[in-house]
Structure 1
Amino acid sequence: MTLAYLMNTYPVTSGTFIRREIAAIEQAGTPVTRFAVRRWNDTLVDPLDLAEQDKTRYLLSGNAPGLLIAFLAELLTRPHKLARALPTWLGLIRAAKGRIIHHIAYLMQAAALRRETAKAGITHVHCHFCTNATAVAMLSRLMGGPAYSFTVHGPDELIDLPGIGIRPKIENAAAVIAITRYCRGRLTEHVGEAHWGRIHIVHCGLKLDDFPDAAGDPQGSTLVCVGRLCPQKGQVHIPAAVAEVRGRFPDLRVLLIGDGESRAAVEAEVAKHGVGDIVTLAGWRSNAEVRAAIGTGRALLLPSYAEGLPIVIMEAFAMRRPALTTTIAGIPELVDASCGWLIAPGDHDALVAAISDAMAASPERMAAMGAEGRTRVEARHDLAKIAPQLLAAFQITQN
């Protein structure tokens, strides 16, 4: 098998898990050719992301004339193959209730991908997220291109699965990877039982060598929140909760790592509740800086409304830090009372109570929770174990 990965936008600051996965697969002995539709417009801050950008071939960014040439070449030299993709392509348009310009672009990208993969001898393409890139890989396959598979994470892609054409994407795929039981359950609702067997649960993971097993100091006073500042992550609720508990825990600090559209709203809440001396908005930081912050913090704080299964929880557990998070999607499959605190999203009183309990917990309790988190990551989310599982799923295409 000759393998390529195709992403919509890559690399991105929040997509470290994809870079790590590719590295683990290559370490297992299978080289990976990187494709992406477009470059990320924001600034990359991690040196490894910058290096990854240099390895990635872009179908659209800086290549609009190339897309047109590739499409016309397919139309003129392989019209019967191109025609095979048209019924499914039209079905995607109907499911999306329009957006025809976008779907014309997907068809052109699929033509370019088929030609690029043919030149490179690629036999399998794997995508992350069941949205645009998977549509391109599917159409490319129908045109005679390589087999494909895709990983489904959530939360956004799970909102309207029929609208993104999930059924044909599963039915034409060699394999589908769901990162949690919750995610697999959502997928099986939208495809016939005959196709359930191709939907595999393979967790996302970490390169544990990057997270040495060191207990550290469980008595830190900083709660660390990592992620894009957006409504789905719920960071806007943190200032009010912190204001309510600061009298009991004068050493409490909260570090928010990330940036995004909710920054102004979070800053307004910080000012409203007078916690500017407690809550710090640090912006995006490199992977090394994120690890250092979590490792010196007391616990991870992630009061999200929508998630798949956050990689940052795995990172915190790898460094023996418990997580304070919410009872959504796949999170309860990893987090429970033995290694963290689970609350309903948007529940102010529960957030206050959980922060208070985390700050008041004894060193022994924090150490025990951290140890349980580390054990779970080692068992379920070690990329050295996950990479062979992915390769085994991909090899279905060769049977």
Structure 2
Amino acid sequence: MAYLVNQYPAISTTFIRREIHALERLGHSVIRYGIRRPWVQVVDPEDKREEARTRYVLDLPIYALLGSVVATAVSHPIRFFAAIRLAMSFYWSAGSLFRHLVYLAEATVIKRWSDRDKIAHLHAHFGTNSTTVATLCRHLGGPKFSFTVHGPEEFDRPVQLGLGKKIASCEFVVGVSRFGCSQLYRWADFADWSKIHRVRCGLDESYFDVAWTPPPSSPRFLAIGRLNEQKGMPLLIQAAAKLARDAVSFELTIVGDGPLRSTLEKMIQEHQLQSCVVLAGWKTGSEIQTMIQQSRVLVMPSFAEGLPVACMESLALGRPVIATAVAGIPELVRSGVTGWLIPAGSVTALCRGMTQAMEVSDEEIIRRGKNGAARVRQCHDVRREAKKLSNRILGLPASDKRIPSVDKSHHDPRPKVFPDETTPPAFVSTKST
């Protein structure tokens, strides 16, 4: 099989690398295809190894891309013109003819690579351009494909992205949360609802096998995310400024980078927060793990999300989370159980949550952190989730007993925090066969 991702590896997509490695441990041979190299230079040693193993479409010179288009048009004219019609239908929704002709050219390259590598199944991550290319590749006669939708971008503009057309063309589509699946149901024809499955992003032994460390008593907060409007970091700076004006002592480290960095730096200077707020930039996976362990609580002020991996990582290491009640986050974070859920867009609510996290006892922080760790182990073990994906690719039932169970040495004896979740009922397709 092959994975197709727009930019791979990327600092914010370690969950894809974990999923690929878990599939390989199950016996799959996974080829990596990328559309382009990462915009931001990767710093994690694991990501550097993944980059060396990935073949990039846009590494090809322009004449090679054009040659691939011509060769495909000559060898498979009927399929080629059918793919042109599909590309035009995407263009009519999204309004960029040139971009979708480029996607078609990229699809001809993926088709040739798939033929050469004998790819039986292509899996794309994100329902954006990588899945557009996979859809066009399939219409050119390429391999069957599936894709994982994370959100929120796909749910912000589903019509422009042709999400329904992509679901109709694929073998199956994955949502990473119950919320994500519900949004896929919105934009898929009812006849295609049976294609929609939940496979969560997962963590591996690098988080589950780490020795537990007690949280610090000092009020150290950590935030992780891209510095853009969607993540709500300016509100976090405003909340920090309010706490500082109230003479509250705390530390806040923000890991990440992005277009709002200079804006946040100015805000920190204007509010004289240099002694308590640090913009740390991007960090490696091991560095982030250490920073989580050194913090008391993770703060996530996002306006829109899918189901953030940073939330899983913090809970897995026993650190509760203050997060906004958006998208799939309430599936992991519950007030009084694994953290604090707050309304999005409220500086006051952020301040209240941070204040409560400072005021509660260390024992309460530990209790919520351990509840979160149990929840993540129960629902976000990448080995278990990869088996679900593997079964879908192989056409097996989700609970097929031929797939070995999760290693019992990693079983957590603590009671489950949330009720067991049952598999959603199968939908019967009304399509004629």
TM-score normalized by the length of structure 2 = 0.88
Deviations 1:39-79 (A, max 9, x none): 11322111111111110011123443221111111111121
Which position in structure 2 is the counterpart of 1:173? 170
Task: List, as ranges, runs of 4+ consecutive aligned residues in structure 1 with deviation greater than 6 Å.
Answer: none
Which deviates more, 389-398 or 5-14?
389-398
Which position in structure 1 is the counterpart of 2:63? 65
Measured after TM superposition, the shift of residue 216 of structure 1 is 1.4
Which position in structure 2 is the counterpart of 1:303? 301
Q: Which whole-Å CA distance do the structure 2 matches of 1:376 and 1:196 have between them? A: 28
* Structure 1 letter corresponding to 2:383: A
Which deviates more, 233-242 or 388-397?
388-397
CA contact (8 A) 1:147 1:397 kept: no
Which position in structure 2 is the counterpart of 1:102? 99
Deviations 1:249-307 (A, max 9, x none): 75410011111111111112211222110001111111110000001110101111111
Which position in structure 2 is the counterpart of 1:385? 384
Measured after TM superposition, the shift of residue 384 of structure 1 is 1.0
CA contact (8 A) 2:154 2:163 kept: no
> Tell me, what secondary structure is at the counterpart of 2:253?
strand
Which position in structure 2 is the counterpart of 1:212? 209
> Tell me, what secondary structure is at the counterpart of 1:377?
helix
Measured after TM superposition, the shift of residue 156 of structure 1 is 1.5
CA contact (8 A) 2:207 2:316 kept: no
CA contact (8 A) 2:219 2:296 kept: yes
Deviations 1:351-379 (A, max 9, x none): 11100000111011111101110011101
How many residue pairs align between the two structures?
395
Q: Which whole-Å CA distance do the structure 2 matches of 1:223 and 1:35 have between them? A: 37
Q: Which whole-Å CA distance do the structure 2 matches of 1:211 and 1:255 have between them? A: 24
Q: How does 1:311-390 map to 2 (within 5 A)?
A: 311-337=309-335, 338-390=337-389
Distance 1:396 1:249, change over 3 A: farther
CA contact (8 A) 2:208 2:377 kept: no
* Structure 2 letter corresponding to 1:33: I
CA contact (8 A) 2:207 2:313 kept: no
Identity %: 36
Distance 1:158 1:235, change over 3 A: same
Q: Which whole-Å CA distance do the structure 2 matches of 1:63 and 1:386 have between them? A: 38
TM-score normalized by the length of structure 1 = 0.96
Which position in structure 2 is the counterpart of 1:191? 188
CA contact (8 A) 1:135 1:169 kept: yes
CA contact (8 A) 1:339 1:373 kept: yes
CA contact (8 A) 1:20 1:206 kept: yes
Q: Which whole-Å CA distance do the structure 2 matches of 1:287 and 1:63 have between them? A: 33
CA contact (8 A) 1:153 1:183 kept: yes
Q: Which whole-Å CA distance do the structure 2 matches of 1:112 and 1:142 have between them? A: 13
> Tell me, what secondary structure is at the counterpart of 1:255?
strand
Which position in structure 2 is the counterpart of 1:287? 285
Which deviates more, 81-90 or 286-295?
81-90
Measured after TM superposition, the shift of residue 396 of structure 1 is 3.3
Q: Which whole-Å CA distance do the structure 2 matches of 1:55 and 1:18 have between them? A: 14
> Tell me, what secondary structure is at the counterpart of 1:163?
coil
Q: Which whole-Å CA distance do the structure 1 matches of 2:188 and 2:67 have between them? A: 36
Which position in structure 2 is the counterpart of 1:119? 116
Which residue of 72, 80, 97 corresponds with 1:74? Answer: 72
Q: Which whole-Å CA distance do the structure 2 matches of 1:56 and 1:80 have between them? A: 31
> Tell me, what secondary structure is at the counterpart of 2:221?
strand
> Tell me, what secondary structure is at the counterpart of 2:287?
helix
Measured after TM superposition, the shift of residue 336 of structure 1 is 0.5
Q: How does 1:113-152 map to 2 (within 5 A)?
A: 113-152=110-149
Report the aligned-residue RMSD.
Answer: 1.6
Deviations 1:172-216 (A, max 9, x none): 100100011111111111221110010001111111334435331
Which residue of 264, 272, 275 corresponds with 1:266? Answer: 264
Measured after TM superposition, the shift of residue 131 of structure 1 is 0.8
Q: Which whole-Å CA distance do the structure 1 matches of 2:339 and 2:77 have between them? A: 57
| Structure 1: tracts of 5 or more residues without a match | none
Measured after TM superposition, the shift of residue 20 of structure 1 is 1.2
Which residue of 49, 52, 58 corresponds with 1:51? Answer: 49
CA contact (8 A) 1:175 1:396 kept: no
* Structure 2 letter corresponding to 1:138: T
Q: Which whole-Å CA distance do the structure 1 matches of 2:297 and 2:222 have between them? A: 6
Q: Which whole-Å CA distance do the structure 2 matches of 1:64 and 1:22 have between them? A: 30
Which residue of 132, 151, 154 corresponds with 2:151? Answer: 154
Deviations 1:295-326 (A, max 9, x none): 11101011111111000000001100000110
Which position in structure 2 is the counterpart of 1:30? 28
Which position in structure 2 is the counterpart of 1:254? 252
